[in-house]
């Protein structure tokens, strides 16, 4: 077990007492190898429950078929729009595919808090306004462009262009959207806006986008994982294992499954590894009792876990000489980006950590407090990376492949200095016989949506051609 050590000139009593006190507070976050192996096997069982028609209605991990059946060949061609909604930022993209050559123009728009908690009409009207502004800037108002929509919230897919939102996550709570087809809501908003000749031909989530984007250049890619504001994963499953699949069983006999693994643990199966801090974060979240796995990992919650521990250390006078600040005592004020910044410090100058302390209006600190803060951040992020690895290992074992490329995207994975290495370390331990590669997905939510839209457009053209041929025959 990793332990905290002091290097200052305290007496022997101070050196022995404070480290033990700190260790006692952070120890619940330190799971052993057996814990992570149990979590991996438990997740595999939850995957199977979600795929079974008999147990799916009560399953916590829903395992939604995405209706995306095949991965790209790398020869896709076309001109597309893509939308990417998965957090507090919303992107509109113009993408040109020409085989392996991809050209993209994009713009980021913010989603105000009042819209995130307003009505569905307000949300989609805001999206339509953003599309209009972007299309006008790109001088595309006179063009018809197929649109791929990356909508990264739990959905029940009923077709490539039909997705029913099952529940909001990541701080969204717009009325009138849950239980509705988000493509219809988007089309209605586009119609209200006017002057837009756009049709959404495919809706996917960001995990599928990441998988498809990486699979465009690496044909071994069969898993997509997001580790950012929230977390989720998808993978390619054989149709014979998808009992809830009621569509054709033609080739390819596979479908990408959107696991919605953020809800793993909502049935209580993770309770024994959750800490009091996890329970406190859950209690004060917008969706208590939901997305329990996500709340142990993702960027929306990691900073708050660290803040709660630092506050407890402060109250016990184990950090900051017991003196805090209004910022440190404010829920949600310790941002997850601080965790990455603090862990990026590599020497005792602690430049990033001191800047974070200044941002939090913490002035009564010593170098030792920087070490303690870095240790707390490392403990929380390591658990998050290992839990992410346990989920990844569960998918690898579920597929039973000897070689797998895993597409990964999201701000947590992208910017944390050690997350990738920690995941690789734990996946190796849990999947010793599998060759695997974690591949950073570059703009999967945009490029991936365009690739799926290309496939949908091509499929539609093929169906029209076949219908025309049948009409000629008759």
Give kind and range of the element (H or E) at residue 191: helix 182-193
β-sheet bridge partners, residue 247: none
Per the annotation, the verdict on 30 as an active-site residue is no
Q: Among residues 84, 125, 161, 206, which one is catalytic? A: 206
Write the CB contacts of 106 (distance below 8 Å, at least 6 apart in sequence). Answer: 91, 92, 93, 94, 443, 446
Q: What angle do CA 19, 21, 23 make, to 5 degrees?
A: 65
Selected catalytic residue, list 62, 170, 295, 447: 170
Could you confirm whether 447 is annotated as catalytic? no
Q: Which residues pair with 91 in a beta bridge?
A: 84, 108
Concatenating the DSSP letter of every residue in 450-470 gives HHHHHHHHHHHHHHHHHHHHH
Angle formed at CA 155 by CA 153 and CA 156, multiple of 5 degrees? 170
Q: What is the DSSP letter of 117?
A: T
DSSP 3-state of 217: coil
Contacts of 172 (CB under 8 A, 6+ apart): 116, 117, 153
Closest CA to 420 of 431, 404, 433, 409: 409
Binning the chain into helix, strand and coil, the percentages to the nearest 5 are: 45, 20, 35
Question: Quick one: angle between helices 351-359 and 367-399, nearest 10?
Answer: 100
Active-site positions read 170, 206
């Amino acid at each position: 077990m990793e332990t905290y050590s002091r290097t200052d000139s305290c007496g022997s009593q101070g050196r022995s007492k404070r480290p033990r006190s700190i260790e006692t507070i952070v120890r619940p976050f330190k799971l052993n190898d057996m814990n992570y192996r149990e979590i991996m096997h438990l997740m595999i069982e939850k995957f199977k429950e979600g795929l079974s028609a008999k147990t799916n209605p009560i399953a916590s991990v829903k395992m939604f078929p995405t209706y995306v059946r095949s991965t790209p060949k790398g020869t896709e061609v076309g001109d597309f729009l893509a939308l990417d909604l998965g957090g507090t930022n919303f992107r509109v993209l113009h993408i040109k595919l020409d085989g392996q050559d991809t050209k993209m123009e994009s713009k980021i728009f913010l989603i105000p808090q009042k819209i995130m908690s307003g009505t569905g009409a307000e949300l989609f009207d805001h999206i339509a306004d953003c599309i209009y502004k972007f299309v006008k800037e790109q001088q595309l108002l006179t063009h018809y462009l197929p649109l791929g929509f990356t909508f990264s919230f739990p959905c029940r897919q009923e077709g490539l262009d039909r997705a029913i939102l099952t529940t909001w996550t990541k701080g969204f709570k717009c009325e009138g959207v849950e239980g509705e087809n988000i493509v219809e809501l988007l089309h209605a908003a586009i119609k209200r806006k006017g002057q837009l000749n756009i049709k959404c031909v495919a809706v996917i989530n960001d995990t599928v986008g990441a998988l498809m984007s990486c699979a465009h250049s690496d044909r071994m890619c069969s898993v997509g994982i997001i580790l950012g504001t929230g977390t989720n994963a998808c993978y390619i499953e054989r149709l014979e294992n998808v009992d809830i699949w009621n569509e054709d069983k033609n080739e390819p006999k596979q479908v990408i499954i959107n696991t919605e693994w953020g809800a793993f643990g909502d049935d209580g199966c993770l309770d024994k590894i959750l800490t009091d801090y996890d329970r406190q974060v859950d209690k004060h979240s917008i969706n208590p009792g939901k997305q329990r796995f996500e709340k142990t990992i993702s960027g929306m919650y990691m900073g708050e876990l660290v803040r709660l521990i630092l506050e407890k250390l402060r109250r016990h006078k184990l950090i900051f000489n017991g003196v805090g600040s209004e910022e440190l005592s404010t829920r949600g004020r310790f941002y997850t980006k601080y965790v990455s910044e603090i862990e990026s410090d590599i020497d005792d100058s602690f430049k990033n950590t001191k800047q974070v302390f200044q941002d939090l209006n913490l002035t009564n600190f010593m170098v030792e407090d920087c070490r303690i803060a870095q240790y707390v951040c490392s403990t929380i992020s390591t658990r998050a990376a290992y839990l992410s690895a346990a989920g990844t290992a569960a998918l690898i074992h579920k597929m039973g492949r000897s070689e797998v490329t895993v597409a990964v995207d999201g701000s947590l994975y992208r910017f944390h200095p050690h997350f990738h290495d920690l995941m690789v370390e734990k996946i190796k331990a849990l999947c010793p016989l599998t060759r695997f590669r974690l591949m950073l997905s570059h703009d999967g939510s945009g490029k991936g949506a365009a690739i799926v839209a290309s496939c949908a457009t091509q499929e539609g053209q093929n169906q029209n051609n076949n219908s025309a041929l049948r009409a000629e025959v008759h």
